[in-house]
Chains A and B, each alone.
Chain A
Amino acid sequence: MVISAEARSRIDGEIAKYPRRRGALLPALHIVHEERGHVDVDTAREIGEIFEIRPIEVMEVVSFYNMFFSQPQAKHHVYVCTNLPCSLRGARGLYEELKRHLEVDASGNTADGRIHLGHEECLGACAYAPMMRVDDTYHEDLEAGAAKAVVDGLD
């Protein structure tokens, strides 16, 4: 079993809220991501059993959404919003500066694989631009120095 008993019981709690089991698939995928960071084939098989669907149907959903992953992930995800309102206020310059500061490779990962840096579409913080999302937390009204301090402070 790859999914822990605790996660499984949380998933069952979600299933109880829906008229059909599958309604709880996205909540279940969030729970699994909290625990494991991604959904591999074995995990997809277990999720498929819980939801009475085929593993490929699980992977189809995983691949559709930007916040779900099928490969192991860096410990921290840092995303700079580069949509228009943020771009108008210097987000792209900030993104380039963070790339240099973290010395990320072409795929956006640091050499130690601890941080992934990427850009994201509008995050609903348009008046507080530029901004970035670090895992579950928004950092807004950023200047380069403040943004660097945030990524330097990540464990």
Chain B
Amino acid sequence: MLKVPYTTGYLSEHFADDDYTTLEGYRRRGGYEAAKKALTQMAPADLIELVKDSGLQGRGGAGFSAGMKWSFMPTDTDKPKYLVCNADESEPGSFKDRILIERGAHQMLEGILIAGWATGAEKTFVYIRGEYAEPARILQRAIDEATEAGLFGASCLGTGFRHEVVMQRGAGAYICGEETGLLESLEGKKGQPRKKPPFPAQYGAFGMPTTVNNVETFSHVPHIVAKGADWFRSLGTEKSPGHTIFGVSGHVARPGLYELPLGTPLSEIVFEHAGGVRGGRKVKGVIPGGMSMPILPASELDVPMANEFLREKKTMLGTGGVMVMDETTCMVRAATVITYFFRDESCGQCTQCREGTGWMNKIALRIERGSGSREDLDLLLDVAGKMEGQTICAFADAAAWPVQGLLRHFREDFEAHVREKKCPFPESFEL
């Protein structure tokens, strides 16, 4: 089955066209013209300024300014510099990068070529999650095609600029999506994140200056170069410009991908685009940006999907993975599934995370089975609070936040389990 977004925009407008995945088809629609413009008419410093001016935020979860990130790359070094494309998409609820590769690999590669020129990098390592075998085949074919056509290699587009793309497949570890865990994995080690500083721009892949960007972040770049910063800023909100591809899953009538401007109200995504909750039921809660991001209750769905608004609601855009849960859903069950995931995926390096994720899962399970006590609710929050901000990487925060969010908005679900000594949601999804 062909998987393309239901609503399209500049990123995904050609994703339904099969020939768009070939170099010829991509070029026929103006592909690699932006790269040609960048490499032949623009100085690297001007390109970095352009991307800064556009306000493009990284689309991998943290939302940091892409142009700023590029500007951290040293210009006065004789060490080789690298880019890394983070295609380790593993955040539960996220599946946009997969489609950006399957249906638009050349768009991403063009962004990489432009970013390579802007940062003076000689090589890009694309690290793609191991389970994405089919996207990896598609991507490798696109890399080979572009390299044979002289877009990459010893003299990209005949300009004398050298840039190569190397794809590496991960092997099933969520933590390798964390940028320094990814770098360790890329170097052939266990994917245990590094202490920062030094940041990747100083000491990245193989110890060399490195910039890590997400698949989607690169995919925006050719459009910004072609149409300018003002055009990009005319879309989305003042602080969060541009489009993104929202992935909508869970209890909606039309789960799928929706390319929309940042700042689109969550309610519009859920009710208009995704068709509301299936079976005429009511929404209970929505996770707005992948499983690490705290849940929002049905009463707060009018929030515009951009970080400056979501932060006021104590959550974030994350990867734009929107998970919808209807009124039958037991939020304690949701907590057991979420905490199991983080327990399973903790790399084990930091005590707070290794132990804390296990304890949160045990306590959530105890409550779900009806053998929890009132104190367990506070214990759960206590453990989450002691993990947050205490570890080498943000994984522990990502594990703590959803638990805190569930207790903030659905404490009554937890209390009902303790009171009734069983799960009071017989129609909830099975565990």
Residues of A within 8 A of B (CB): 17-20, 22-27, 29-30, 51, 60-61, 64-68, 82-85, 87-90, 92-93, 120-129, 133, 136-138, 140-141
Q: Known interface pairs A23-B186, A127-B248. Does A83 touch B92 (Cβ–Cβ under 8 Å)? A: yes
Which one of B31-39, B55-63, B334-342 contacts A?
A: B334-342
Q: Which residues of chain A have C-beta atoms less than 8 A from B257's C-beta? A: 127
Let me know if B344 and A121 touch, CB within 8 A. yes
The distance from the CB of B413 to the nearest CB of chain A, in whole angstroms, is: 15
Let me know if B133 and A136 touch, CB within 8 A. yes
Q: Which residues of chain A have C-beta atoms less than 8 A from B166's C-beta? A: 17-18
Let me know if B92 and A22 touch, CB within 8 A. no
Q: Among residues 124 to 160 in chain B, which have CB atoms less than 8 Å away from a CB atom of chain A? A: 129-134
Q: What total of chain B residues lie within 8 Å of the partner, measured CB to CB?
A: 60
Residues 232-243 of chain B, each 1 if its beta carbon lies under 8 Å from chain A, else 0: 000000000000
The distance from the CB of B287 to the nearest CB of chain A, in whole angstroms, is: 8
Q: Which of B3, B249, B250, B430 contacts A92 (CB 8 A)?
A: B430
Let me know if B169 and A27 touch, CB within 8 A. yes
Please give me the residue from chain A that is nearest to B135 by CB atom. Answer: A124
Let me know if B430 and A93 touch, CB within 8 A. yes
What 4 A-B pairs come out closest when comparing CB atoms? A25-B188, A66-B172, A65-B171, A126-B249
A90 to B249, CA, bound (A): 13
Residues of B within 8 A of A (CB): 1, 3, 80, 89-95, 97-98, 129-134, 164, 166, 168-174, 185-191, 206, 208, 247-251, 255-257, 287, 291, 321, 323, 325, 329, 334, 337-338, 341, 344-345, 347, 429-431
The distance from the CB of B16 to the nearest CB of chain A, in whole angstroms, is: 16
Q: Known interface pairs A87-B429, A121-B345, A127-B249. Does A26 touch B98 (Cβ–Cβ under 8 Å)? A: no
Please give me the residue from chain A that is nearest to B252 by CB atom. Answer: A127
A101 to B43, CA, bound (A): 62
Let me know if A127 and B168 touch, CB within 8 A. no
Q: Which residues of chain A have C-beta atoms less than 8 A from B169's C-beta? A: 26-27, 30
Q: Known interface pairs A121-B345, A122-B93. Does A22 touch B187 (Cβ–Cβ under 8 Å)? A: yes
Q: Which residues of chain A have C-beta atoms less than 8 A from B345's C-beta? A: 121
Q: Which of B171, B174, B341 contacts A67 (CB 8 A)?
A: B171
Q: Known interface pairs A87-B337, A88-B323, A92-B431. Does A124 touch B129 (Cβ–Cβ under 8 Å)? A: yes
Q: Which of B92, B188, B189, B208 contacts A121 (CB 8 A)?
A: B92
Q: Which residues of chain A have C-beta atoms less than 8 A from B3's C-beta? A: 128
Q: Which of B134, B190, B256 contacts A60 (CB 8 A)?
A: B190
Q: Which residues of chain B have C-beta atoms less than 8 A from A87's C-beta? A: 337, 429-431
Let me know if A64 and B92 touch, CB within 8 A. no
The distance from the CB of B395 to the nearest CB of chain A, in whole angstroms, is: 14
A67 to B185, CA, bound (A): 14
A129 to B249, CA, bound (A): 8
Query: 7 extra interchain contacts, Cβ-Cβ under 8 A, other than A88-B325, A127-B257?
Result: A66-B173, A85-B249, A122-B341, A124-B129, A126-B250, A129-B249, A137-B133
Please give me the residue from chain B that is nearest to A33 by CB atom. Answer: B171
Q: Which residues of chain A have C-beta atoms less than 8 A from B97's C-beta? A: 124
Let me know if A61 and B337 touch, CB within 8 A. no
A87 to B171, CA, bound (A): 23
Let me know if A26 and B170 touch, CB within 8 A. yes
Q: Which of A17, A65, A89, A122 contacts B92 (CB 8 A)?
A: A122
Q: Can you list 20 A-B contacts with CB-CB less than 8 angstroms, sorted by A residue number? A: A19-B206, A26-B171, A27-B169, A30-B171, A60-B190, A64-B173, A64-B191, A66-B172, A84-B334, A89-B429, A92-B431, A122-B90, A124-B95, A124-B129, A126-B321, A126-B323, A127-B247, A127-B249, A129-B249, A137-B133
Q: Which residues of chain A have C-beta atoms less than 8 A from B171's C-beta? A: 26, 29-30, 65-68
Q: Which residues of chain A have C-beta atoms less than 8 A from B187's C-beta? A: 20, 22-23
Let me know if B190 and A124 touch, CB within 8 A. no
Let me know if A61 and B429 touch, CB within 8 A. no
Let me know if A124 and B249 touch, CB within 8 A. no
Q: Which residues of chain B have C-beta atoms less than 8 A from A138's C-beta? A: 134
A125 to B256, CA, bound (A): 9
Let me know if A22 and B134 touch, CB within 8 A. no
Let me know if A51 and B188 touch, CB within 8 A. yes
Let me know if A122 and B188 touch, CB within 8 A. no
The distance from the CB of B138 to the nearest CB of chain A, in whole angstroms, is: 13
Let me know if A85 and B206 touch, CB within 8 A. no
Let me know if A123 and B131 touch, CB within 8 A. yes
Q: Which residues of chain B have C-beta atoms less than 8 A from A126's C-beta? A: 92-95, 247, 249-250, 255, 321, 323
Q: Specify which of B188, B251, B338, B344 lies most central, judged by the most chain A CB atoms within 10 Å of its CB.
A: B188
Q: Known interface pairs A20-B206, A123-B131. Does A84 touch B188 (Cβ–Cβ under 8 Å)? A: no
Please give me the residue from chain B that is nearest to A16 by CB atom. Answer: B166
A90 to B287, CA, bound (A): 18
Q: Known interface pairs A64-B190, A121-B344. Does A84 touch B92 (Cβ–Cβ under 8 Å)? A: yes
The distance from the CB of A26 to the nearest CB of chain B, in whole angstroms, is: 6
Please give me the residue from chain A that is nearest to B99 by CB atom. Answer: A124
Q: Specify which of B164, B247, B257 lies most central, judged by the most chain A CB atoms within 10 Å of its CB.
A: B247
A141 to B132, CA, bound (A): 17
Let me know if A88 and B134 touch, CB within 8 A. no
Q: Which residues of chain B have C-beta atoms less than 8 A from A30's C-beta? A: 130, 169, 171
Let me know if A26 and B80 touch, CB within 8 A. no
Please give me the residue from chain A that is nearest to B431 by CB atom. Answer: A92
Q: Which residues of chain B have C-beta atoms less than 8 A from A82's C-beta? A: 337
Q: Which of A26, A89, A120, A136 contacts B185 (CB 8 A)?
A: A26
